Structure formats: structure tokens, C-alpha cells
Structure 1
Amino acid sequence: MVSVSSVDNVGLNTQGKIQQVTILGATGTIGTQTLDVISQHPDRFGVFALTASTSVQGLFDLCVKYKPLYAVMLSPTAASALEAQLKNAGIATTVLQGEDALSQVASHPDVDVVMAAIVGAAGLHPAMAAAKTGKRILLANKETLVMAGSLFMQAVIDGGATLLPIDSEHNAIFQVMPYQRTRILADMGVKRILLTASGGPFRNATIEQLRNVTRAQALNHPNWVMGPKITIDSATMMNKGLEVIEAHWLFNATSSQIEVVVHPQSVIHSMVEYNDGSVLAQLGNPDMRTPIAYGLGYPDRLVSGVSSLDLLKIGRLDFCAPDQNMFPCLRLAYEALDAGGTAPAILNAANEVAVEAFLADQIKFMQIPALIESVLSTSDIEAVTSIPQLVDVDAVARRVARDWLTASIDTH
């Protein structure tokens, strides 16, 4: 197993050079916040390429403001519409189309930094392309590690890439335990990783209340502003389960060395406990511009625009254990990690189908973990050998999940 690597030389070749940045998923929350940080440092960063899946107007607005060399849309129709709008506005950005174009702008020789912020399995191929070509990868896409952890981490090493985690929790761990490389935790005196969780909007709910959760309630996160898919994952605590799997790959940690702690204030973003009894924590306001700025500037600390943390105003910090009976998605993620092989990829695929169905009002909130558990229990687990294999596994798991949906809808 390997872990976060190649951090020692970061910054040595960046003096006096504008770093060119590709943002995969530019119209999402992470993408727009990355652009906000970049705009505060025009002497350090330039925008090379911006990508989006369907939001033509959103990407057009960003192209007008930041004038990237390239813009990528997934569909030909969206790409044509964007190209026409940019031409009419006199913006010289070149528009590319399709999944291959995502990998092209992630691996282009002129690109220094890739923000991998595409939500879901769609972000896997461009992240791999960035790894293979030695980019500094700011990883905000959970599914890359969940689906293909061993292959991606090996690609980072083979390509000489630099990997910096952007999830606030993993970024916090990295800040208090930055030089792990391929060493196991015990050799560094680390006892365990404490992965904090807000608990989402339903941390104080009853089972009966969870059975009747509405779409609007699940999308109303108390602390963080995120996209709909990640917000639902936070509500089910699958988001934290995926982060457990990520932490396994990033920090060379076993499942027993990763403990989830519910911390409603989201001030402590995660902690590392050492054998001598020390617990090191990274604190800050719940604002993703902090880890984004850390990733962009590492090893320097950049101004991010985040307000100072006022502990006197906060007054108290609370902690409790997560209830895995109330939130079975967390249990399912641990089980998938322990099963290994293709199990995490199957978990991820089933979850994406379930969340889409919930957002479309096709299933109830508590049917999300039921669907995932059914797909996991009926799927064959294989050793991971290649990206094409994982693409096939993903497709099969989605088909099984949709069959479950069809049966569930027919039953009701």
C-alpha cells in the first residue's frame, strides 16, 4: 500500500512562474471557491481550463470572468451552445467536448495544478490522467480513491505527481501528519485517525423521523454549503463512510485505525492521536477555501478570504459517537473497505443511483442504505486489476441498483 507522496519538492520549481490551473467541475461549489482563492493571487495562478457537465450559462459566466484558454462541456449540444455564446461575447476561449477532453486539459503539458472536483465516478479518468502526467492534484473527488484507490495511488507514484487532499477532513489530517509517504502509521508513532463528522441535518433525529425525511430537509445542511449529491451523502453519513475509505488510501491506515467522531460545530476538521497521548487537531471555520488555499499554496500559507475563528463566540465544542443503526451507510462503507477489492466501487455506484433516485422523489430516505446493502450483498467481489475492469464493475452495480429501484417502485 502507498500513501500521500512527493510533497518534499513542492514549490521548488514554482518561484517566479505563474502556475496554470485546470479546474475539473468549475461550476460546482469547490470549483467556484477555487476560483475565488485564485482571484486573490493573480501573481501566482492563471486559469488554464474550466470544465462543466451541463451548466452552459454557469461555465459561460466563468469564462467571461476568468478567460481560460480552454472550456470543456460533456455533451456536443452544450459545447456548441457555449461556443456560440463565447463567440458573440468576443471571448477567445477554445471549447472542447466530451470525456476525453477532460483528460486532455488535466494532462496538458502547460498545466501545473489540477483541481479534481467533478462529483461521482465521472471524475476518475481525468484524475488518473493528471496523476500519470505528474501534476499537482488537489483531490476533491472522493470517488477516485473509493473506486480505484490502489491504482490511483500507484499512478501518483509512477507519474511523479503530487497529491494534496482537499476534503476538509483529510486536509486537516495532512496538516498535522504531513510526511507519511509509504510508512505505516505505527512507525510514525500514530495510534489512530479521528475523522470528524458534523452529523448532518439529522444527527438528533429519531428513526421514525428519518423514515419521513423530505428532499428539502435532507438538502438543508446546518454547517456546510455543498452540491446536492454531497449534501445528501452527508445526511445519510455515506459521505463520512467514503472518507473512511479515502483515509485508508491516503494515510496507509487500516479500518481499525480510523474512528469517526460526530462534532456538530465543524470547527475541528479532524485529529490524529499519537502513541504518547498527544492529539493534534486542525481547527477553522467551516469554509472550503481554507483547504483549497492550503493545496494551492503548499508549502506556503495563502490568504484564503476565510474569516478568523472566534472560539469565544463558539463557546463550546461537542463530540459523540455516530449511531450506525440510525445511519447504516457508515457501517456499509466500513464493511466495503474491509471486504476490499471491488467492494468500494460497488458501494459507490449503488450509492450514486440511490441518491439520484431520492433526489428525484423515487425512493424514501431510509431506502438509500437498503438499496446499497442489497447491491453489495448480491455482487461478486473481485481483486482490482484495471480501470476498464472498474468501469465494468461500476456499470453492473448501477444496473443491479436500477433493477432494485424498478422492483421497489412496482411493489409500491
Structure 2
Amino acid sequence: MKKAKRVLALLLCLVLILSAVGCSAKKDDGKKSSDSEVVTVVDNNGNTVTVKKDIQRIVVCDIYPIPSVLAVFFDSASKIVGMAQPSMAAAKNSLLSELYPEILNAETGFIDGTTVNMEALAALNPDVVFYSSGNKELGKQLTDAGYAAIAISANKWQYNAIETLNNWIDLLSQLFPENNKSEKVKTYSESVYNMVQERVSSIPDAEKAKVFFLFQYSASNISTSGNSFFGQWWATAIGAKNVGEELDSDKSTNVNMEQIYKWNPDFIFITNFNTAKPDDIYNNTVGSFDWSGIKAVKDKNVYKMPLGMYRTYTAGVDTPITLLWLAKATYPELFEDIDITAKTKEYYGDVFGITLTDEQSARIFAPLTQAGKLSVK
């Protein structure tokens, strides 16, 4: 009898042990399941952010090129439910809304400048929110409210548009690994950059073209790029001189006509952050400014920058093509073999799987005036 009791006790112990192991395994399985439903990334401010994998609703606050980057990255804008007015104005008047008309359904009323209406944001029910890395106050506000908030920087890489694009795509590829385009974008963009460097590297310093970026322009204001903004990088990247290099300022800075005459640039590139066209410079139609004595005007070397998926002065998916376009416009003899329309089709087709017609590609280099407005109101 004692022996039978001992056997029974051993069997009971074995059952309890197996039950405990089974429960533990179930708990571990549950943890693995939970881990498999999220992805963790480090954003451009160095914050570790955990986001659910099945992201269906995206809001972009004050980092304006990102909606266009996301749309091309996904080859769809269906996930973008909110973005700022400057992003919408560019989308509405560019190829972006033709390729992805659903982007026009995104809400814009939740943000005014850099201020987010948290109640309006909550109504959008976002799975992830992107914001400008410089707006740390907004980042804290979003995080404190429980949102998966990811900081995106436009200047972390010293306004190097190629490096900025590559790092944006790398972050998105970590966040959405099923859409990974990191290597394709990096390989293409760096090949374009290296090709341009090979062709312009031998230009003597004294023969480098002097370029002026007309960033913003109105009847009362002219602003350009100092030595710490995209204009400086673009000029250096194409083997030219940014005439505003002497201005030690971050982002854009205001200048007057007296200063521009002193610089006397060979080329003027008008960004899409204003509505001016070359004819406005040639004919002095804005305010009381007189450009007629500037070399670029005399030589008819005033150009409007392209507008593909977004305003190309900043980093964005159009960056490699913008670099080629600027180089060819400034040094046509060095890039006479480059068919910019064909290169545009090649880039979007090979890297993103997007087929553009000749007409669509050409339209990138003839942007609409309305795209220069920063609001759709």
C-alpha cells in the first residue's frame, strides 16, 4: 500500500511539473506573439520608438516632404490620413496627386504651422505620427498623449540632400520592412552623385559658376540660402559657388537687391517655395525690384526648379533627378549626353517600380505657379 501511495505521489508531482511547464510555454508564446506584432526603430532624434507592425493610418505634422516620400515608398497614399497645408498645396499642384489621387483626402485642419490640435489629431486615430525633429516640444506632447511619434530631420546631415533622402528611406524601410527600398535608393542616388562629381571636379575655382537660390520672393521680401541650408549643398554638389555662402545663417536669410548686384550671379534658381517664374524676373513684375542688370538675367539663365513629388529645393524622392537637372542647367556642355526626361523615367521605374509617361516626366520640369503657395486655403 505504501509503495502504491509513493507511486501515486510521484505521478501527481509529475503532472504538476508538466502543467507548470505548459503554462510557462504558453506565457512565452504569448510574449513572442506580442513582440511579433510591433517594430522598434530609432528616430532622427535618437529616440527609441515602438510601433505596431500593421500600420494603416499615418499622420505627418510639420515635416512637409514626408507625405510625398511615403506615397512613393508605398506606391500608394491610402495610409496617409493627415498632413499639413504646405504638403497638401504641393501635392494638389504636382504629379503626386495625379499618381495618388487619394492623397487629397488627407485632413489638414489638425495642424496650424507647428501647432497641433490634439483633439483633431485624436479624431484621425493615427497608428504613427511623424514630426519635425526640431520641434521637440511637439514630440513630447505627442509622446505624452500616447502616440507612436517619430522625429524626422531635414538638417541632421548638414543639408546634404542625398544623405538625407537615403536616411529617410532607411528609417522607413526599418519601419516597413516589407517595402524595403533602402539599398535601391542609396545605390541609385550615390551613383548619380558620384557621376556628377567626376564631371565637375576638374573645374578650376575661378571658373565655377556663381549661383543664387531665390528661396522666397514677394513684393516686399527676397530670401536666399546662406552657408547652412540646402542651397549651399546643391551649389557645392554641382561644382558651383553659392553666392550666399558668406551669410552665416541657418536656413533662409533675407537679402536686398544691392547685395544681389554685388554678387552678380551667373545663374538664378527659383524654388517652389514662391510663385515666381523666370518671366517675373526678366520683366520685373514683382514689387519694385529691378533685376535687369544681373548677369543671370542678361544671359537668360534664370530657371524655376522642378516640382516632381514635392518642392525639389529640399531633400525628397526627386533629389537624384534634381541634382542632375541642376548640373545640366549650370554646365550644359558637361552633361549634354544626359536626357533628363529619360533619366527621370529610369529612376522612378528602376527604383520604385513607377511607370511615368514622357509627358508626366517632362511636366516635372514645368511646375505650376500654384505649387509655390504654402496653403490651399
TM score, norm. by length of structure 2:
0.32
Larger radius of gyration: 2
TM score, norm. by length of structure 1:
0.30
